[in-house]
Structure 1
Amino acid sequence: MPTGWKLTTIRGYLLAFGALYALVWCGYWWVLRALNSNKIRAFPLHVLAAWLPLLAGLYFADPVSNPNAMIPTSAAEITFTMSTALMTAALFPLYSIAVYAFVLSPSIRRTRKIGRLLGLWILFAAASLYLQPVFWHIAPSIYEGIAGFPIQ
């Protein structure tokens, strides 16, 4: 696993991607709740329907390097991409449930909702920074093509 400045850069990209992803899904749950009179009917089914494409993408992913490409992809970049995707798939249902339970509840005042949402984002950012090295080491064992770079 990279160290120093490279690791800081990688974690910065991870947090930027995670923040955008979290913002989009929070907005989706917020709009869905507003359109359905402050309730999301069949919420677990919505989470499952949103989670299945992530799982399918991970299942059918085949990360390999093409050494004949103009700019070949490095093993570290592929490992980072796949470990981030694995982590996203692992944290997505937990994030959705937390937003639904702690932020979108109608009994919570608007000022507290913003604070709770920021707290959840900080919590999930810390969890993702902690889990990144774990998934970094798991990804090559799941995707054999990463360990044998460069292969075609």
Structure 2
Amino acid sequence: MNIIIDFNDETNELSEEEINTIEKILQLAAKMEKVEDDSELSVTFVTNERIQEINKEYRHKDMPTDVISFAMEELGEGEIPLTGMDMPRVLGDIIISIAKARAQAEEYGHTFIRELGFLAVHGFLHLLGYDHEIEEDEKIMFSRQKDILDEFGLTR
């Protein structure tokens, strides 16, 4: 079972090994979540300045954040789903701030790759419809994140 992931490192800060690790984590998450083969998503790594621009434009919050997800399967008002034969499932986009990931790794006392993995899985689960707006949903989502990261071996 494999999904198709388009990576874009706008910061040019990540090593090939780090990107490969994130790909393996997301492939595992897709397998554990039983996501259809050939489903597609993109992961973009950006600066704090860039994620702040995105956060301001789309969430009306003028501050940097660690990860933002844009789920393609969430329909806006008046939108209709695209369906047809042989169309791949397009999950959406995950945008991660490298600077925030580095700062949070230090703050939480774990490795940078563990924080990147956490943020990637967090964003991925949002693409699949998980949320954490209410306590009950938060418990479900954070438990699932922990299960995936533990299975991969990225524990705190």
> Is the structural similarity TM-score above 0.5?
no
- The structure with the largest helix share of the pair is 1
- Relative contact order, higher structure (CA 8 A, sep 6+): 1
Q: Which has the larger radius of gyration?
A: 1
**TM score, norm. by length of structure 2:** 0.31
